[in-house]
Amino acid sequence: MGILSSLNFGIIEIFFSLSAIYISYYYYKYFTRPNPLPGPFPLPFIGNLYLFNINDFSKFLKEGHEKYGELFEIYFAGDRQICVGNLNVIDKLFNPSSKTNFKFRSLYKPGLDEFGVSGYGVVFNHDYNSWQFNRQFFTQVMLTPSFSQLSLSQSQDFLKVIINYLNDISDKNITFDLRKWMFSFMTDTLLDLFTGKRGISTNIYYSELINKKTIDDEYVELLMKYVDGYTFHLFFGTFAKYIPIFKGIAKNHINNRDKFWNYINNIIIEQKKIIENSPKDQLRDDMITLLLTANTDLDINVSKSRVKDLDPKYQRPLNDKELLINLSEAIGAGVDTIANLFTFLLYYIIKNPEVITKIRAEVIDILGKDLRPIKVEDIDKFKYIEAVIKESSRLSSLTPLIDRYNHVSDEIAGYNWPANTHFIINASGTHSDSKFWENPEKFDPERFIKSSSINNPKAFILFGGGIRICPGRKLAMILLKVLTALLVYKFDFELVKDDPIKIKFAIFNQPDEVNIRIKKREIF
């Protein structure tokens, strides 16, 4: 016992000695950091995590902007992050030129290696040449006129089915979770647009509602867990192998990733066979087809020559892994963002019924009382609906922060910063600043229509900006405008509980527990 006691005591001594060394080094680095800025005092190991609930990160950023101003610093564990709310500085960070010093959304993250996505796709790809290559293909698809037309026609076809479900739910006076409904609907819509495969997620949720029993939707579960796994490995994957409780979480995410990838890979294999056995003019203009044929003899995009300006090793079509990650990111990010934003939007317009009246008036003005089908040229005419979308995002930012890193040293806000400094564009701060907005706490879509000396649209960030602006922004606006125009015109909505909206944060802000009832409108 004496030997064991001595051994245990020695381990404890070593632990406390190492902790003391780390803490001393941590604060030495903190007090000798370049360009010290105001900000909350960090603690070793956790930084400023003690100050905020991860599910209310927007509130933390807003309060920091109000207390410390347009430039302050925070710490996430050991990572120093420079929070920026100055519009001139944001303009520099959002420079759209390929020569910008702020090309990176993230640096190398070992956790993404563990998840198998490091160096692929467009979301957190730290390899600039690889990102540029993948981004070019992605942008080509999103800007192809035929893809926009397909998006518009398919979303309206899907809505016809959904409206039948909603009519029945209205007749039965059923309460349902709006975000879960929208997540299911957008999963089916984007799965079809991106892969040509019809989903049944909405049907499953509808069946669950009317039958009052739970039915598993394997694909939605795989997708939701895949997004969670991406987030987990981005933030914690580096440490997962060293922390017992994290090992099990990481293993479950890897198993789910393999199932999700296998699902997408099977779709890719099927689509390759379709392409091989179909004439070019009979191919459907969905994302998977456009990506598989990009930079080949079947490519319909006249802009494909731009890919040839890249490094010679990227003058080729996408390989299977690149295609897999691009499709996975497109579905995961697209479903999450559009479903979340529409849920926020509906919440705010229910709370502001005069806005609903104006939406319906615009719909009648453009489509008539009988609601003819929406055409591509109609999309830009929905000015008020676009203002409602923007105002909903201003009050509940999908992305409360946007990351940028400088790959070389640069001057920002009068300070010289070394390469690989982590900057955060504080969208939550700029969206709520009274210097930029009149009555910033008020839901007022008119601020995006009427000119004002106070309201400053430059302080609004919806799809990011600069070289890394969201490539799916055109698709998102098409789907959001179609959803808002048709659903708000046909139904009345009621919140089950008139409580402030709850938010979860996992890369994006997600509305939580928005339970509603709907009622068919009598339209004369």
| 116, 108 contact by CB (below 8 A) | no
Q: Which helix (H) or strand (E) is 191 found in, with range? A: helix 178-195
What CA–CA distance (Å, rounded) separates 231 from 211?
Answer: 34
Concatenated DSSP letters of 200-264: -HHHHHHHHHHHTS----HHHHHHHHHHHHHHHHHHTTTTGGGSHHHHHHHHHHHHHHHHHHHHH
For 79, the 3-state DSSP assignment is strand
DSSP 40: P
| Full DSSP string of 367-378 | HTTTTPPPPGGG
Q: What does the alpha-carbon distance between residue 70 and residue 478 come to, in Å, rounded to a whole number?
A: 33
The DSSP element (H or E) to which 424 belongs, if any, is strand 422-426
Give exposure, 127-159, as e/b (b: 16+ Cβ within 10 Å): eeebbbbbbbbbbbbbebeebbebbbebbeebb
Q: Is 352 helix (H, G, I), strand (E, B) or coil?
A: coil
Distance CA 225, CA 336 (A): 12
470 labeled binding residue = yes
CA dist 30 and 363 (Å) reads 56
Q: What is the DSSP letter of 282?
A: G
d(CA 452, CA 94): 24
- In whole angstroms, what is the distance from residue 379 CA to residue 314 CA? 35
User: Token pair 């699902």 is at which residue?
Assistant: 263
What CA–CA distance (Å, rounded) separates 520 from 295?
Answer: 48
Kindly give the pairing relationship between strand 422-426 and strand 79-84: parallel
First CA to last CA distance, the chain: 89
Question: Cβ distance 71 to 37 under 8 Å?
Answer: yes
DSSP per-residue string spanning 156-173: HHHHHHHHHHHHHHHHTT
The encoded tokens of residue 26 equal 């941590």
Are residues 421 and 455 in contact, defined by beta-carbon separation less than 8 angstroms?
A: no
How far, CA to CA in Å, does 83 sit from each of 421, 455, 503? 11, 22, 21
- Other Cβ atoms within 10 Å of 453 Cβ, number: 6
Q: Are 75 and 48 in contact (CB under 8 A)?
A: yes
Annotated binding site for heme: 470
